[in-house]
Amino acid sequence: MPHVARTFIKTGFVFFMVALILGVALEIESLPLPRLMPLFWHALMVGWITQIIFGVSLWMFPGRTREEGFKAQIWAWLTYIFLNTGLVLRFIAEPMLLYSTLTIWDILVVGSAVLQVSGGVTYVIEMWPRVQSKKQRMRKRKQKRNR
């Protein structure tokens, strides 16, 4: 299993635990946790489910190269960086919206969304060539040999 796939899956497990803890905390009526339900859903859907899907798909679909490392798997690592930076920013900024009227927190929430969307775009860039027919792969190999 490639290192980047393991990293996605392990990070997904961390966010799964965060989502479980947040979910339990939100159910305890004596804890003052208003409006933190979006963090629970982000931890569960983006942090856990999306990262597990990304990790397993990067593992199961053969890559352009079997080489490890950041440079060889740049789009996958950029996906990881964008997605998780966006999630962390969301976890910082969302609660601050409750306690402050500063515009910076709104900007950080928007920035976190932009980073998460960027992670989705880089994931598609990484996966698109992996999901092609055998006929297309053979045609590309033949074109490379003829050069």
> For 85-94, what is each residue's pLDDT tens digit?
999 999 999 8
Of 114, 2, 119, 113, which is closest to residue 50 (Cα–Cα)?
A: 119
pLDDT at 71: 73
Which pLDDT belongs to residue 66?
Answer: 65
pTM of structure:
0.83
Burial 75-100 (b: 16+ CB within 10 A, else e): bbbbbbebbbbbbebbbebbbeeeee
Domain that holds residue 27: 3-132
121 within a domain of the structure (yes/no): yes
- In this structure, the dihedral spanned by the alpha carbons of residues 132, 136, 138 and 141, taken in order and rounded to 10 degrees, is -90
In a domain, 141, yes or no: no
Question: Is 113 a member of any domain?
Answer: yes
C-beta atoms surrounding 34 within 10 Å: 9
Residue 86, in any domain of the structure: yes
Give the residue from 43, 45, 41, 58 showing the smallest Cα distance to 5.
58
CA angle 6, 22, 107 (to 5 degrees): 80
Low-confidence ranges of the chain (pLDDT < 70): 34, 64-70, 137
Asked if residue 142 belongs to a domain, the reply is no
In a domain, 98, yes or no: yes
Q: Is residue 14 in some structural domain?
A: yes
| Residue 114 one-letter amino acid | V
With respect to residue 140, please indicate whether it lies within any of the assigned structural domains: no
* Number of structural domains found in the chain: 1
